[in-house]
Amino acid sequence: MSARSTPSASSAASSAASTAASSVGLPRLLVIMGSGETAPTMKGPHRQVFEQLAASTGGSVDAVLLDTPFGFQENVEILAAKTAEYFTDAVSRHVAIAGLARTDHGDVVGIETAIAKIRAADWVFAGPGSPTFALRQWAGTPIPDSIGAKLRDGGAVVFSSAAALTLGRKTIPVYEVYKSGADPYWVDGLDLLTAIGLPVVVIPHYDNKEGGNHDTSKCYLGERRLLMLEPELDDDVFILGVDEHTGVIIDLDAQTAEVVGKGGITLRKDAVSTRIESGETVPFSTLQRGPVGDASGAAPALAVEPVPETPDTMVTEGVEIPSLAADAARLEAEFDAALAARDADAALGAILSLDSAMIEWGRDTLQGDEMDRARASLRSMIVRLGAAAAGGVRDPRQVLGPVVEAALAARVTAREAKAYSVSDAIRDNLAAAGIEVRDTPQGAEWVIDEPASS
């Protein structure tokens, strides 16, 4: 296989030529996602990118999933098929699987066929897995240049999670540091973004909070370890952090950067950061400048002075990160409220909504144990609704009211006739049935005795 090529030094001339070429062909789009690439939250951004490409191609888009980042996993074929299914079902686009789990061994013809698919594709996607594994597999192959060519000549590169980590000058060896306990260090990345004027280290999962009582932000590296590593970066390099369930769509022809999803992106240098929130579209030059320098031309949202970053300032308080766990908790609370109100339709609606959420989130390749917990919640809700049905979901006062009121009317008649034994018998029989009669100056009242809780 041919060796990886490096970006041309004559970037100004090649950039002008690329712009002219792309103006009559495919748009040049770079999409970096922090996470959620196969979750319901990213359906809209995916559709937006496909629609922009389709406007240039006349409708069809040659889309390929680059499966290398999770190629080390035993279930690589299942993960790839599940990802392709997401795009079919949620985005209504066919995505072919490259079939390039590894390049260090295997069928040479198969490897070359996969590389040819990537080179010819209008849209290339890669997502979760191990950044260092992907970098090892792509080293010495045409893959990096094939990806870079789409940013030069036209096409869309959509990289998320582990794949996003590989794009920059350096990358975080996530598994080695977070899982295996290695001292923090940088690994050389593909450095595909310097050629477009973005000398960065890309850090997805920037606002991750999975650790709970320990800091897992900055893609599980944490603020403390990032502070250790940051001084080792080249002087011209800064950090581009992308929050979870968030993306940035960079249109290299329009020279714009649009932040989409639930959070924001962070431009950081020497622990000083500038945030751009979801919904903002800024000039691409704003990203190229990084968090410091001349503020002229910056969008209004960036007019504030950059502030030192801490674990407390990196995430907007009160913003719930979308997840299956969050949906399950919300729907279980709705179910509880419906049962308390004896609203069978609302309780059933909560169950059906959770079932739909599980189907939607079931396409996400990064769930952890959330699906198991959601399934447990669903089963519990079904059992509880069944128990409620056995005892009657309707308010028993509505069911028993006409009978009890008739009995109380008969009791009044008996008392007026001074048939006190009959009156007492009616009261005692109601009590035996769990209905307490209370005589008040305004007349008789009745309540249903609730069984004592064990």
Give strand ranges (E) for 114-219: 123-126, 155-160, 170-171, 187-188, 200-203
Residue carrying the six token digits 């998320």: 160
Query: Which residues does 352 contact at the CB level (< 8 Å), separation at least 6?
Result: none
Backbone Cα Rg of the chain: 31
List the one residue out of 287, 361, 348 whose CA is nearest residue 321: 361
Task: Kindly state the helix (H) or strand (E) to which residue 354 belongs, with its residue range.
Answer: helix 344-361
Query: Which residues does 258 contact at the CB level (< 8 Å), separation at least 6?
Result: 248, 249, 251, 280, 281
Distance set, CA 26 to CA 50, 95, 345 (Å): 11, 18, 50
What's the DSSP call for residue 273?
Answer: E
Distance in angstroms (rounded) separating the CA atoms of residues 42 and 90: 9
Are 178 and 220 contacting, i.e. CB atoms less than 8 angstroms apart? yes
List the one residue out of 212, 280, 206 whose CA is nearest residue 243: 206
Report the b/e string of 276-296 with b at 16+ CB within 10 A.
Answer: bebebbbebebbbbbbeeeee
Are 195 and 148 contacting, i.e. CB atoms less than 8 angstroms apart? yes
Residue carrying the six token digits 């009791």: 411
Residue 195 CB neighbours (<10 A)? 18
Tens of pLDDT, residues 30-51: 999 999 999 888 999 999 999 9
pTM as predicted:
0.69
Residue 316 CB neighbours (<10 A)? 13
Residue 23 CB neighbours (<10 A)? 11
Structure tokens that stand for 445 in this block = 């009242």
Query: Which residues does 215 contact at the CB level (< 8 Å), separation at least 6?
Result: 222, 223, 224, 311
Per-residue pLDDT of the chain (454 residues; tens, 9 = 90+): 333 333 333 333 334 434 433 434 899 999 999 999 998 889 999 999 999 999 999 989 999 999 999 999 999 999 999 999 999 999 999 999 999 999 998 788 999 999 999 999 999 999 999 999 999 999 999 999 999 999 999 999 999 999 999 999 999 999 899 888 899 999 999 999 999 999 999 999 999 888 878 899 999 999 999 999 999 999 999 999 999 999 999 999 999 999 999 999 999 999 899 999 999 999 999 999 999 644 333 333 343 334 444 444 333 444 455 677 788 888 888 888 887 777 878 888 888 888 877 777 766 655 556 777 787 888 787 877 777 766 666 666 666 778 778 888 888 888 888 888 878 888 888 888 888 888 888 888 888 776 554 4
pLDDT at 66: 98
